[in-house]
Structures are given as C-alpha cells and as structure tokens.
Structure 1
Amino acid sequence: MSNLFWYICLAIIGVGITAYTIYTKKHIYKVSTLMVFYLFAAGTTWIGEFIVLGLFNSYAYKTGLFTNPWAENLLGHLILNTTLYPAIAIVMVAYKLRYAGVILVTALFLLTEYLFVTMGLYEHHWWKYYMTATAIVIFLLVSRYWFARMNQKPYGLTRALTFYFAALLIIHTPAPILLLLGKQHYEIGIIDSWAGDFYLSSIIIIFFYHLAESFLLVLFACVFNKWYWKVIPFILPLVVQSIFTKMNILVLDDQWKLVYTLLIYEIFIAIFILLEKYTLKPDLNNRYII
C-alpha cells in the first residue's frame, strides 16, 4: 500500500471522530460552536507546524505522492493538521477529558508516530518523541481552557481571537492546494535564496501575508460592527493579489488566470463572513460596537 493510504486513513479517523463527537454532544453544545472551535484548533496547529516544520525543518512527512520533500511536507501537513489534531481537541472539550484522558490520547499519538517512523511514513530530523508528547499535552490543555472561555465570554477579545485562527485556516487553505496542483506560486528573491526550495519559499511568503490579512479580516468583519466595513475584506485581495501579480510575486502557472485566484479568495472570504455572522453569537449587551 502507498504511504498516502495511511495518511488518508488517519484523516478519515479524525473526521469520523469529529462527526461522532459533534453528533453525540449536540444536545449539550451548539453544533456551530463546536465547528468554530474545530476551525480555531486547526488554525492553531497550522501556525505551530509552520514554525517547527516550515521554519525549523524539525521532521518530514513521507506521503509518497511527490518527489520534492517540501511538497511532501505540505501535503502531510494539510492532511493531518486539518483533521486529526482538531479532532482530539473536539474530543477533549466535548467529553471533558481529565488527566487520564490526556495521557491516553498522548500515548496513542506517540504510538502512531512511532509506527509511522518505523514504516518509513515519517522522519525525525531534530524532533524527539518527548517533544510530541509535550506539544500534545499543551495543545489539549489550551484547548480545554479556550473552549471554556469561548462559552463563558463569546465576545470581545475572546471572540476576535477565536475567529482570527478560524479566518487564517479558511483564507489560507486555497494557497497550498493551488501550489501543490501547480497552478500558482509566490516568489521573492531574498526568501527564495534563504529557503532554497520552491514550495517552502512560496508558503512562507503567502503564510506571513495571510497572518496579516486574517487580522484585517477579523477587524473589519468581527470588531467593526457595521455592514459597510465588511466590504473592505472583499476589496483587499483584489488589490493586493493584483499588485503581487504586477510585481511578479504571484506567478501564475499552467495557464491559470488571476481571475480564478480572485474568485476563490472572494468565495472563502464570504464563507468566513457568513460563519462570523451566524455563529458564536455574544450577548448584544456585552458586545462592543464600533
């Protein structure tokens, strides 16, 4: 069986666990709240892995689909950090796992990691097993704390930060997919020279940009509570991506058109705007209005 098969199996397990947990706990928590938390949890893992893998090359995924190691890393990251990690966060908060549960989940992750290393599906560089254990424990404890805070104070800074990580996940998702499909990439000379890899430099450029764009998206969609502010997030990518194209920072490949990229941007921004409008609604008496 191909390496990718095992990654897909983990993804299916993650999605299945999430779906089952949300279904069985829908009488306790709003489905929309659990879904927003899922996006928040996935967004935090994306930032964490961007640092430890993207910037410090701590380990390597071996999906077997690409010859380029950073394309492999990108695909492995997309599969696992969008499914498995947020799934355990959902389990943690929905079933209110205590320390025994945290230890069990951590042990299962370590066992999975060991099997993947043994089977040649995953490779450590400077990363160690105890680092995985530490990261999982911290991730679960932070998830428990933040979910409780989300439910107690779904307004102000708590709501804004929750939607920031969700926004990052939503608006960044198309970029690595289009990169892996060979439709577009980003390049800046100094970053290309430092990274030394086509895929890595492209993701570094667009990820840092999306960190900033997510902040502006949350600012105009969540904080500035007037309809006309919500128009700005739709205008921003039209301007910035067009400038990137003119400056040859955004390079279109395989007969891909800028209009396709812009259309995808607008769709994903609209998804976020609707998500923010109808989920995690605060008490109007407590929500600040600008």
Structure 2
Amino acid sequence: MTIKKKYSSLPFVILFILHSLLLLYAFYKKSKEDRRNMFLLLLSNIGIAYIFEYPILNVYRAYRYKPKILKNNLLDNVLGAVISQGIIVPFTAVFLTAFNFGKKGKILFSMYYFFIERLFVKLGIYKQYWWKTIYTPILIYCYFGISNLWYNQIKKGNSNVLAITHFFCVNVVSINFLFVLAIMKKIKFGFGKVSSWHEHFLIVPVYSILLSFLAVLSVKKGGFKPKIIIFLIDLLIDLLLWKLNILKVKLNALFFFLLRHVLTIYCAVFFRKLVYMGKGRV
C-alpha cells in the first residue's frame, strides 16, 4: 500500500497538528513558572533529538523520509526528519513529562510510535535501510525517561543541566535558522565548486555546535567585550570557510555574516536570562 504523491505530506501534517494540540494543552494547564521550565525542556528535547539524528540520519543514513514537500529529495528527507524527530516526538515528550505519565503511559506512547512507523513504511513515505522498527519504541521510551529527568533537574537548578540547556536553546535556533536558509537555497556547505547536500548536512551541525558554544561562552561572564571578541572570531571562521569555498553564500555575504552571528549572540543573551531566571544568576 502506497499513498499518492500529492497526499504524501498529509500524515506529517496530521501528526504535527495533533501533537501541537497536545503541547498547547500542556502549556495551557500549567503555571507561568512551569511553562518557562517546559519551554526550556522543549528546546532541550529538540536539541537532544538533533544530536541523535546527526549520526543516524546524516552520517549513516539509517532511513529516509518522503513527505514530498520540497522538490530536492535530500532537503525533503531532512524536513521529514525535522517534523518527525525534531517536532512531533519532542512535543510528545514534553506532554508526557508535564502530566507526569508513568511507566505504562510511556510504554503506550512508545508503541504508538512503533505502529506509526510501520504505517509510514506501508504508505511509502518512510523507507528503512539498516534501521529496524523495534529500535524505535525502545529508544523513544528511553527518550521519554530522559525528558522527565531533565525537567526535574531544570526545576532543581542543577548547574550542569542549566548550562547544557542554555547551549541546546541557542543551538536549536541556530540549526533551524541555517536549515531555513538552506531550503531557500541561500547557503550551502561543501567541498569544491560542486558539492552535495549530503556534505552540507554533515558540516552544518558541527559548524552550528561550534558557533553556538562560542556564543554561550561570550555571555557567560557578562559585559560587552567578550561578545565583540567572539563575534569577530565567528566572522573569521566564516570568512575562512568562504575563502576556502566550503561555505557558499547567495545572500550578500556581509549581510549573512552579520545577521547570523548577531542572532546567535542575541539568542545566547536571551536564553541565559530565561534559563537562570530565579536561580540567582543572569
């Protein structure tokens, strides 16, 4: 059983709407303080999902999504992964954590994803290479457990968890921003004049992690000078990649460089205040 091409995106859209409603309901039922912690948990969950997807999808190509939303197959594949692993699953994890679902609830939702994956395979909108469906409920169950632990540590003000949460928040915004520019065909990473999108998605996560780490570092002690220093280092990294023809920019190059790094440092400042609000640090 396969689904017609023009309807390939429909299951992704339905799941996105359904799980968005679950997330919105969870935020609606919680207090202002809980909502802040849940928002930080959401970005952390997305950050964890992106790290997981990098070796599984980008490097070892365990499976392929076919939502048929974008014309380019590889970009379409990554978009499908973002919707599934970067939105739908993290939304579910936050919902389960918010309402403190126990072991049975986590198992139920893990099996729900098992059947969703089998359905997607039958519909022809998801293809497995070396990945086995049985891996999915096992790993998702573990992921739900991590979400609970992470949320509790955020509420307790665990310094290590708060620091990593800060990084995740900045990195998620950075990766999504770069992905939007890639969809618009405004930037591309790769070696040589002609490079593949596969190369792009091998380089971009590493690039984003490095620059997000530097941005977080620049706001750690406060003050204006560290931000300027990191900003200049970021520009030098981009200029070097540009000169080596590893970074291809179709936007005005200076505009891209400035916008990219101003946004990242601003996010680092904003999320630091949000993460450490009420924790005695700013």
- TM-score normalized with structure 1 length: 0.86
Counterparts of 1:224-263 in structure 2, within 5 Å, are 224-253=221-250, 256-263=251-258
Matches within 5 A, 1:137-286: 137-154=141-158, 156-188=159-191, 198-221=196-219, 223-253=220-250, 256-265=251-260, 266-281=262-277, 283-284=279-280
Q: Percent identity?
A: 23
The Cα of 1:273 is off from its aligned counterpart by 1.8
Measured after TM superposition, the shift of residue 268 of structure 1 is 4.3
Q: Residues 142, 278 of structure 1: CA spacing in aligned structure 2 closer, same or farther, 3 A cutoff?
A: closer
- Quick check: 1:26 aligned with 2:39? no
Matches of 2:25 and 2:226, distance apart in 1? 38
Residue segments in structure 1 that go unaligned for 5+ positions in a row:
none
Query: How far apart, in 1, do the equivalents of 2:279 and 2:145 lie?
Result: 27
* 8 Å Cα contact 1:33/1:280 also seen in 2: no
In 1: Cα distance, 2:168 partner to 2:129 partner: 28
How much is the aligned-residue C-alpha RMSD, in angstroms?
Answer: 2.2
| Larger mean Cα displacement after TM superposition, 5-14 or 136-145 | 5-14
What's the counterpart of residue 77 of structure 2?
73
TM-score normalized by the length of structure 2:
0.89
Structure 1 pair 267–71 and aligned structure 2 pair: CA distance change class (3 A): same
Cα distance in 2 for residues equivalent to 1:81 and 1:268:
23
3-state SS in 1 of match to 2:188: strand
CA distance in structure 1 between the aligned counterparts of 2:203 and 2:79, rounded to whole angstroms: 17
> 8 Å contact 1:39–1:169 — kept in the other structure?
yes
Unaligned segments of structure 2, at least 5 residues: 1-5
Asked if structure 1 preserves the Cα contact closer than 8 Å seen for 2:190 and 2:203, the reply is yes
- Superposed CA offset, 1:55-83 (max 9, x none): 11100000113454322221112222332
Provide the rounded CA distance (Å) in 2 between the counterparts of 1:278 and 1:236. 26
Aligned to 2:3: none
Are residues 1:63 and 2:67 paired?
yes
